[in-house]
Amino acid sequence: MYSLIEAVFNVQSAVMLLVGIAAFATVLTVTLPLFESDKLGTRMKFVATEREALRQRYREQMAADKGRLRQTPKGFIKEVVERFARGRMLENEVIKEKLRQAGFRGQAPIYTFIFFRFVMPPIVFLVLLFYFYVINSLGLATMSRIAVASAGAFAGFYLPNLFVQNVIARRQESIQKAFPDALDLLLICVESGMSIEAAFAKVAAEIGDQSVELAEELSVTTAELSYLQERRKAYENLALRTGLPGVKAVVTSLIQAERYGTPLGQSLRVMAQENRDMRMAQAEKKAASLPPKLTVPMITFFLPVLFCVILGPAAIKVFEWQ
């Protein structure tokens, strides 16, 4: 036993043992990469496959929703507009941008908008003349009636603009209320390892119960990320369609992260907090505007009743003494 221990701890044996271990480690280091699978290649292939599947799904979805999202003009409205429209009215980018912000996409809303711009002035003019000459003249002379009807026709030209502005305001209010929560969901999806297309698709599916408008815009952005060659263009289109400062700031962060490789999670976290602060500031602004709005109703309705309650008994006593 002593000789065996002495042989093991001999200097020559120890050197031979270390040389054998080094040779084994060298062979293992050289041959091990040959047996390992290409994890990066497999991962990239999986991502490419998922992206292609996502692209195919949204192509089918956009094809199914084509009748709802993009309507083609037809019938009487198209004929009237093409006959009477002059210049580049159909190619007016301002009108297109306003209609996109209101959620009206395709050529049919443009034709409808221009059509009502043409027909509303004569309709309002004839309705006012019918009211003045058949229902009630309001004591106006003939020229005064015609002048009021002409002013109404002039206002009728801007009625489609007023309608679109109201739709835009309601749509932006709905998007602004749900956008901070959507950013929180987007942050969770991105930090969990999802791609930006899959994250947008997931958030669009989850946020629909809170804001249908925001879900629709995110779905369109997901489709554009699959279609367009430049992802930056899809982000910019989202900012143009919403017209909200908070969305524009988030779009800028997404473009910078796409171009320079900056961390997206921290930017989304900061933007979510900023949009939440903007939503709170908007609510405080509405609350601060209530006292001036309540002044006239209080003077008109509350003060006379209050005076009657306070001074009524005193007035009754005075009349009784007399």
If DSSP codes are grouped into helix, strand and coil, which group holds residue 71? strand
Q: What is the mean pLDDT of residues 104-123?
A: 82
pLDDT value at residue 285: 82
How many alpha carbons fall within 13 Å on the CB side of residue 65?
A: 12
**Residue range 146-188, pLDDT digits in tens:** 888 888 888 888 888 888 899 898 898 888 888 888 888 888 8
Q: Domain boundaries in the chain? A: 72-157, 169-288
CB proximity list for 166: less than 8 A, separation 6 or greater: none
Ranking 52-56, 167-171, 230-234, 274-278 by mean pLDDT, the lowest is: 52-56
- Positive or negative, the CA dihedral 75, 77, 83, 87 is negative
Q: What is the mean pLDDT of residues 290-317?
A: 81
pLDDT value at residue 67: 47
pTM exceeds 0.75 for this model = no
pLDDT value at residue 189: 86
Tell me the pLDDT band of 43, cut-offs 50, 70 and 90. Answer: very low
pLDDT higher than threshold 60 for residue 72: no
CA dist., res. 322 & res. 73, Å (int): 80
71 phi-psi bin (left φ>0, alpha ψ -120 to 50, beta other): beta
Ranking 59-63, 103-107, 305-309 by mean pLDDT, the lowest is: 59-63
Give the mean pLDDT of the chain.
Answer: 76
DSSP 89: G
Closest C-alpha to 128, from 146, 114, 112, 141: 146
pLDDT higher than threshold 80 for residue 222: yes
Q: What is the mean pLDDT of residues 293-318?
A: 81
CA dist., res. 29 & res. 9, Å (int): 28
